[in-house]
Structure 1
Amino acid sequence: MEKMEEQVRRYFQGMLDDSERLELLRRMDTDPRLKSEFIGQQNIEALSLLWKQKQDEREAGQKYSQFIRSMKEDHLRPRRSFALYTRYAAAAVLLIASTTLITHHLSKESLPHEKAMSSLYVPSRQRAQLILPDGTQVWLNTRSTLTYPTSFGSKERRVNLTGEAFFDVTKDAKRPFIVSAKDVEMKVLGTKFNVYNQPDTDYIQASLLEGSIEVSDARMPTRRVTLKPNETVTVCEGKMEVQPITSSDHFLWKDGIYCFENESLKNILIQLERYYDVKIEVKEPELFNLTYSGKFRQNDGIDEILRIIGKIHRFKVIRDMENNTITVSK
């Protein structure tokens, strides 16, 4: 079997095919040493990107080589070495918690006249936080991808999102910050807002906590909506619907907390399926109409969450580990 270090190196060089990459990510869930090796290499990659942004290619290469040599010669304990990696790379990538892993941070080299682009993917059961080149903070929910340039241009700051993310945008009146999600664009100058754009849903939702957002849809060029704080807009099938935000607790997902407020069991199960990467089957359709209010930490696990809800609504939960399915029934 290929050496662990070599496989991780090939991952960041883009030399693994889709099946090899998927196998590596799955192995990390059960192999702490592999996970640690991956995180260390990831932060080295992030550090090299910082150098390339701030200095010319020759100087960046020299300092990068010096850094790698110092790491190989360093006989400090793994915990301290990891802290060193993280300290240097913190300006580019931040790990939210010990259970949070950013699993796809690749810099795609472009032509000289083009911007280099990075793509960040977060796998199931994980969240991630990063800081963009302008200082904007982004929290990415599970199974989400953010694509962004390694440096923003002089006219705008544009990123592309698939999944869900919370943005705390650095103010810059001369360069609007634009989030593209399918055909919908959210344009801001400096604000805090949440964007929901899951590929398996037929709608896009933007929720504003501070500042203002201008939301537009390429399919409706003349229709634009400007949100006020504590408003949310849902774009679906050529329509835009603005409603008040009933509770900001819904955005606690970025802190690892599920908040359900009179939420239907159907919607709860959809969220749990997506986060924990498991298939949930419901035997009796009428169970979908049950509602629940409460808070859970994501690291409580799906079994504990369903056990507590099941005690209140008196349904049974059977877990099939081999087929990665959960059955809910009366």
Structure 2
Amino acid sequence: MLFASSFLYPPLQNILQQLRPKTLHLMNKRIENLFKRYLDDTCTREEFDELFDYIKQDNNELTEEMVEKFYGKQVYQVAGRRRFFIPAIAASVLVIVCALVWYSQGKPRNPGVPGATDLSKIKSTGKKQSGYIVLPDSTQVWLNADSKLEYPETFDASMRTVTLTGEAFFDVKHADKIPFVIKTRKVSTVVLGTAFNIKAYPEQEKITVSVKRGKVKVNYSEQQVALLEMGQQVSIVAELKDIRKKLVKVEETAAWQDGQMNFDDETIDDIIVYLAKAYDVNIIVDNASLRSVKITTGFRKELGIKKVLEILTKLTDSEMNYNDGTYVIK
């Protein structure tokens, strides 16, 4: 199935058409071809993902030119740091990017529509991928690698419920008296309108909820285990074997969106699971005693898997080999 630009609203199509003559010279041959295919409605899902990865890169002149051309603003740069956008620009870039990535077919519907259908839709990402989706109530969701979100075609009038496998950051559209519920195995996260991150990969025992804005109630098998506010986090190990609540920096609640991989008192086993998804590689820990070792550390994703594993093995006094497409730690 082709992922065509006909899914987009007409104003965005017009913007993309106007961009064509001015921006193609900024792209290498591959990106130029992808952009042409997108405009011609012949772009596949995989090609679209590749094009979006290019657009969302830091220091991307194409993105800056898009903003400057259609919003009459200028991008400024702080020496030695990443580029920042004034609020109006940031909003404009977000509008363009959000419309480009996994935009729901049709206009977002109002939350709480009586007689809503139970028909489910699924959005998922593969390893080494991330994704964005706007739900029927205009809630925004950013999916991390190898994650899946299941949600109804239309939310009903009393509850907005979705199911998450993996990791995602939610910016929930406020709706009075219509709670938004995220189910992750036995854990339910309940909100009215807020922004927070949930990490709940099936291969990992621990589920972590971190709040960036607002308040969040966390339940385990219908039992409330935490009430979180901005800058707070709770980690729950399966069957309530361990529950830990702590303060976190707001900017770190979804650090993965900026390419930062943080691990706080996590086992080597859980860290390896995460790295395998982030880089789409095979990793084996051939040392039973090492798997349960807990460490606190962090890596920039752009370091690459080899460098990250080299650092990890130094921290744990272990060794790494690469054989037949698999990294082996022992």
Report the TM-score, using the length of structure 2 for normalisation: 0.61
Which residue of structure 1 aligns with residue 138 of structure 2? 135
1:296 and 2:252 aligned: no
Distance 2:217 2:118 in 1: 25
Which residue of structure 2 aligns with residue 232 of structure 1? 233
- Conserved 8 A contact 1:102-1:120: no
Displacement of 1:179 in angstroms is 0.7
- Conserved 8 A contact 1:317-1:326: yes
Distance change (3 Å), C-alpha of 1:96 and 1:224: farther
Which residue of structure 2 aligns with residue 149 of structure 1? 152
Task: Specify the SS of the correspondent of 2:198.
Answer: strand
Report the TM-score, using the length of structure 1 for normalisation: 0.61
Displacement of 1:154 in angstroms is 2.6
Distance 2:174 2:201 in 1: 27
Please point out which of 277, 282, 292 is paired with 1:278: 282
Displacement of 1:116 in angstroms is 3.4
- Conserved 8 A contact 1:124-1:142: yes
- Conserved 8 A contact 1:203-1:237: no
Which residue of structure 1 aligns with residue 309 of structure 2? 306
- Conserved 8 A contact 2:163-2:184: yes
Task: Specify the SS of the correspondent of 1:162.
Answer: strand
Identity of aligned residues (%): 25
Displacement of 1:97 in angstroms is 2.1
Q: Deviation string for 1:4-62 (max 9, x for gaps)? A: xxxxx3xxxxxxxxxxxxxxxxxxxxxxxxxxxxxxx2346x929x99xxxxxxxxxxx
Which residue of structure 2 aligns with residue 79 of structure 1? 35
Displacement of 1:317 in angstroms is 2.5
Distance 1:256 1:207 in 2: 17
Displacement of 1:281 in angstroms is 2.5
- Conserved 8 A contact 1:94-1:130: no
- State the aligned residue count: 249
Runs of 5+ in structure 2 lacking a partner? Answer: 11-31, 57-99, 106-114
Distance change (3 Å), C-alpha of 1:284 and 1:157: closer
Map 1:131-280 to 2 at 5 A. Answer: 131-217=134-220, 219=221, 221=222, 223=224, 225-235=226-236, 236-238=238-240, 241-248=243-250, 249=252, 251-260=254-263, 265-275=268-278, 276-280=280-284
What code does the residue aligned with 2:144 have? N
Please point out which of 97, 105, 110 is paired with 2:53: 97
Task: Specify the SS of the correspondent of 2:204.
Answer: coil
Displacement of 1:85 in angstroms is 5.8
Distance 2:52 2:177 in 1: 31
Distance change (3 Å), C-alpha of 1:204 and 1:95: farther
Displacement of 1:262 in angstroms is 7.0
Runs of 5+ in structure 1 lacking a partner? Answer: 1-8, 10-40, 52-75, 107-111
Q: Deviation string for 1:172-208 (max 9, x for gaps)? A: 2232211112232211111111112221233433222
Distance 1:172 1:113 in 2: 16
- Conserved 8 A contact 1:215-1:226: yes
Map 1:53-64 to 2 at 5 A. Answer: none
